[in-house]
Structure 1
Amino acid sequence: MIQRKRMAVLLGTTLLTTMVAACSSGSEEGQSGDGKKDDGSKKPEVSISILDRGQIASDEGTYESNRVTKYINEKSGLNVKWVPILRTQSTQKLNTLIAAGEAPDLMWEYGRDYMSTLKDQGAIQPIDEYIEKYSTSYKAYLQAHPELKPYTMFDGKTYIATSARGIDAIANHAMWIRQDWLDKLGLKMPTTMDELMTVLRAFKDKDPDGNGKNDTLGAAFNFNYTGIIQALYAAHGGLWYLEGDKIVKGNFTDRYADVLATLKAMFDEGLVDKEYITDKNYQKERQLFVTGKAGVYFASWNIPSEYRELKQNVPDAKLVPFEPVSTKYGKFGLYQEPPANKLIVFNKNMKDPQAAIKLLDWMIDKNWFDVRFGQEGVHYKLVNGVPQAIDAEKNKKEIIYAPEYAVLDQYSPKPEDFAIMAAQDTISQEYAKLQGESLTVAMKNKFRRDIPFNPTFPELSEIQTSFAPLSEEIETKVITGGTQYTPQWGMEQLRKEWKRLGGDNVDKLAQEWYQKNLKGQ
């Protein structure tokens, strides 16, 4: 692979439909069905979880066996068993497998809180000794990335393996708007929450698609909707914020009442489809957007498939990303991920930690490139050291799922790379330019993250398990329940239920955790 070393500093972890490529032609040369090497000796075995996002076409195989898994087994010298975990139920599924003694050797997720819970349960083990004894490439990588160390440790020991996110994987949430609708209605790009609400009302009431029907909405969205509204007010329900010298959970800040008020207003005024409460997979929301019936899309910074479908359905649509709007509390960036990417932990019952380390070493040592991008000349060609997709539709089918198998990588594209990486058809090139703009917009305003990671201790994990369904029920009542359930009522109920479940003690322990682990850093 020519110029791969240069790509190693270029290249991170997002699903770029227009350019991701897989790995190999699916050849199983060099391996046999019983997991043996060519010389007849048995390969070391290791099992690892993989998130099932439903992206593998039936004729491509399954999440357990496909062209990517075959390539890894062929080239790594390992027999790697992939254990699919449904993305929407990932922690529940892992918990079930752990309880049954059937969890894979390596497990990964993105949430450090969850890994802390597994550590407290005794389900995972420290890995310092394994890294020191067996690793070369990953050990060197860690030394070159000291910023990752705080995310890998509990109680002074390393429990987590990870690699740094590329800029494209740090960026996450984003807002998109139909510029052609703004232009038609003589509206300016909104910069404040009040202006945004005015625009949403106009998109709903003033027939921006010109069909003479009252059939448009202010906004549609994916699962990032509430997180975006929370970020605009710096009151993310899943994070803790510093208020003075104390840390406070996001949904107990006074700002959270404004989050509820905004979500309620959007629902009450019909600026969003009222059925979204029961649209758990957001497929109706997506359909509203791609068929041209919504003017704003609260979603992710990278939406290649939605953009392509919108342009196919409404060729004259002009979609652009726009910056977070300010509120009375100021202007804050939308959600951005912390620097650590996939968080990989070692099952306490794993049989061959050396094989696990070998997989991590093999992956971080440039092989992640082939896992992500596939065969040169088949899935991409190199242009100025950047992989350019040869056929967007081929790559979309064969390997949109491939990057997730690169559990460690060093990919971090620049905004200007997208035009090179994309296929050469008109829509792909048009979107590639927008993609670069969207990444720039997504990173322009820093997301407010007052502490690098949340408190972690057993009492907090326990109360959150009980509190989560109660808070969802309360917030749904506020949003959908009319004048009877005000945001102020909602805040009172949230605080009351937290207190009833032992929240005062948890808040005290959280403050002690902060004083011990983070104050002064």
Structure 2
Amino acid sequence: MKKKSFVLLSVTLLVSLLLSACSSGTKSGSSGSEGLTKPLEVSIMTMYYTPEPPGPDNVVVKEFEKRTNTRLNITWVSPNNYGDKVNVTLASGDIPDLILLDDPFNAQVRGMVAQGAFWDLTPYLQDYPNLMLYPKESWENTKQADGKNYGIPRPRPTDGGGFTYLRKDWLDKLKLDVPTTTDELYEVLKAFVEQDPDGNGKKDTIGYIGFVDQNGMANFGQLQNSFTKVNGDWKLIDGKLVNVNLLPEVRESLVWLNRAYVEKLIPEDFAVLKNTQSKDLLKSNRGGGFQDTVEAAWEPTEELRKTIPEADFLPLVSLNGYSNKDSGFFGMFAIPKTVPEDKMKQLLKLMDYGASQEGSDLANFGFKDVHYTEENGIKLATPQAQKDIVAQQALGQIFLKYDPYLRAYRTGMPLDVLERNKKIIDEKAKISMGDPAVGLYSETSTLVGTELRKKIQDMKTKVIMGKEPISAWDDYVEKLKADPDLLKITEEMNEAYQQRTKSE
């Protein structure tokens, strides 16, 4: 609605009718107040991923304010030091109306929740239909120890996260089927190394470009998970959480990886290889497989197609009947209890509008034919979008509708790859398994967990490289079963799990 209309129209009924018509564009309507009320002052703290954050006079921010009858005072913080900024802000007691908690389960947040510092939003959420369209995992996995929601999740897809992808054109050339088990995958990787899939007459290809780091299995993580069939370090067995490192399936994964290392199916320097180096190997036509999100498989594909038009990295649906389900959130927006109840409801209404199709499109893409064009249902950013700082990496860090296919598309991707990715995500969603320990707290793990994980990973790396025999892993597992720290962590994790389950 044009700004001058509010000046010219003086008849209250006509103003009311016009505002009502304006709000009918979304399921829940715009969050602006009915009538010519004073704009709602809203302070927000969040992060940004654009080179510079949007300013207060940003054209899309101003339009968002206009449609919602708000005045947004946004504190933009670089992700490089966002955690520190959150800690300082929470400690100060001067908390904005909406604060993005990038780690909703750290000790400081937990303590403040227990002290009643944030609104329990659980009884109110049902009145905000667009927020209720977020997947149940987004809400379940952001519940605190008492089983209640003290924040609005920043939604992320539950399916399409980091998993194995393979060179489909190499499979076709070698007349191999897409593998569905780790045994079949092993044979595929062996063929990638031994049968010259790149056709240069040299044995210079690597089956799977994987690496570990000192804290965990990193890009071998989902290969291990394909043996344990759970996305994380804890598996629910007979109603109790068990650390996966004690399970025989982890041993099987180490035997598999050691064999792959001996037969040179994985990089010899996997223990020190970095993510950027791994991607360089993929883009230089050296690697047959990798672990990343569904849409990320397009990155090396696009580069390779400059010289190899048929190049194609295919994301796998599953291995051994397993596919990973992610948590469905990346942080959450909390509202401090210093905000009055009536304003808290207005803030929920604002966030609900941001989760609508209209609000999300405005925040993430701006104005059609100005900041984006649309082709085959795909929104393509214009140079003006970059100039005006209009992007999901900016205002879209606050306002975003749930999109199950967010991990299906990257800029420049052809329509056939996009549609294939959507189908892969749909198939994953039918069988994917999540992490039952998301959000659970163990004080002992906070104190000693990092060091314990490093010791476990150090032994895994040595076994994979053959520096220690598999029997050394067996001996180590027996010691872990009696390790007082792991026993205490397991006890605390199960207590937290039972408490959350009873509260639900």
* TM-score, length basis structure 2: 0.73
Equivalent residue letter for 1:412:
D
Q: Paired residue for 1:265, among 259, 263, 286? A: 259
Find the counterpart in structure 1 of residue 464 from structure 2.
479
* Closer, same or farther: CA 472–222 of 1 in aligned 2, 3 Å: closer
Contact 2:231–2:325 (CA under 8 A) maintained in structure 1:
no
Alignment pair present for 1:128 and 2:119:
yes
Find the counterpart in structure 2 of residue 217 from structure 1.
206
Q: Paired residue for 2:453, among 465, 468, 471? A: 468
* Closer, same or farther: CA 227–8 of 1 in aligned 2, 3 Å: farther
Contact 2:444–2:489 (CA under 8 A) maintained in structure 1:
yes
Alignment pair present for 1:49 and 2:46:
yes
Alignment of 1:81-480 (within 5 A): 81-86=75-80, 94=86, 106-109=99-102, 115=105, 117-122=107-112, 126-128=117-119, 139=128, 141=130, 147=136, 149-150=139-140, 151-155=142-146, 157-162=148-153, 165=156, 168-220=157-209, 225-234=219-228, 236=230, 238-280=232-274, 282-303=275-296, 304-326=298-320, 331-333=321-323, 335-340=324-329, 342-346=331-335, 360-365=351-356, 366-381=358-373, 387-390=377-380, 401-402=392-393, 405-412=396-403, 428-447=414-433, 449=435, 451=436, 453=438, 455-480=440-465
TM-fit CA distance, 1:211: 1.0
Contact 2:152–2:332 (CA under 8 A) maintained in structure 1:
yes
Distance 1:498 1:513 in 2: 20
Equivalent residue letter for 2:153:
T
Deviation string 1:10-56 (CA, Å, 9 cap, x unpaired) is xxxxxxxxxxxxxxxxxxxxxxxxxxxxxxx998352423264xxx3
* Closer, same or farther: CA 234–500 of 1 in aligned 2, 3 Å: closer
Deviation string 1:241-271 (CA, Å, 9 cap, x unpaired) is 1222422022332222223333333333322
Contact 1:120–1:458 (CA under 8 A) maintained in structure 2:
no
* Closer, same or farther: CA 260–180 of 1 in aligned 2, 3 Å: same
Equivalent residue letter for 2:243:
K
Equivalent residue letter for 2:291:
F
Equivalent residue letter for 1:479:
I
Report 1 or 2 for greater relative contact order, CA contacts < 8 Å, sequence distance ≥ 6: 1
Contact 2:190–2:265 (CA under 8 A) maintained in structure 1:
yes
Find the structure with the greater CA-based Rg. Answer: 2
User: Aligned with 1:229: secondary structure?
Assistant: helix
Find the counterpart in structure 2 of residue 28 from structure 1.
none
TM-fit CA distance, 1:285: 0.8
Distance 1:361 1:300 in 2: 28
Distance 2:472 2:230 in 1: 19
* Equivalences, count: 458
TM-fit CA distance, 1:351: 12
TM-fit CA distance, 1:324: 2.1
Contact 1:160–1:344 (CA under 8 A) maintained in structure 2:
yes
Aligned sequence identity (%):
20
Q: Aligned Cα RMSD in Å? A: 4.5
Alignment pair present for 1:65 and 2:58:
no
Contact 2:442–2:489 (CA under 8 A) maintained in structure 1:
no
TM-fit CA distance, 1:164: 5.4
Tell me, which stretches of 5 or more residues in structure 2 are unaligned? 2-20, 29-37, 66-70, 213-217
Contact 2:153–2:330 (CA under 8 A) maintained in structure 1:
yes
Distance 1:374 1:325 in 2: 40
Equivalent residue letter for 1:402:
Q
Equivalent residue letter for 2:194:
D
User: Aligned with 1:122: secondary structure?
Assistant: helix
Equivalent residue letter for 1:128:
W
TM-fit CA distance, 1:387: 4.6
TM-fit CA distance, 1:78: 0.8
Deviation string 1:310-366 (CA, Å, 9 cap, x unpaired) is 21242221333333232xxxx212x21234564233578999985965763552354
Equivalent residue letter for 1:155:
D
Deviation string 1:406-456 (CA, Å, 9 cap, x unpaired) is 4353232569x97xx988x7x52343233234323433432255x374532
Equivalent residue letter for 2:359:
N
Distance 1:437 1:410 in 2: 20
User: Aligned with 1:209: secondary structure?
Assistant: coil
* TM-score, length basis structure 1: 0.71
User: Aligned with 1:343: secondary structure?
Assistant: strand
Contact 2:210–2:267 (CA under 8 A) maintained in structure 1:
no
Contact 1:117–1:457 (CA under 8 A) maintained in structure 2:
no
Tell me, which stretches of 5 or more residues in structure 1 are unaligned? 10-40
Equivalent residue letter for 1:504:
L
Find the counterpart in structure 1 of residue 486 from structure 2.
503
Contact 2:105–2:441 (CA under 8 A) maintained in structure 1:
no
Shifted more, 454-463 versus 351-360: the winner is 351-360
TM-fit CA distance, 1:288: 1.2
TM-fit CA distance, 1:217: 0.8
User: Aligned with 1:298: secondary structure?
Assistant: strand
Distance 2:168 2:487 in 1: 48
Distance 2:135 2:371 in 1: 34
Equivalent residue letter for 1:46:
S
User: Aligned with 2:61: secondary structure?
Assistant: helix
Equivalent residue letter for 2:432:
K
* Closer, same or farther: CA 503–50 of 1 in aligned 2, 3 Å: same
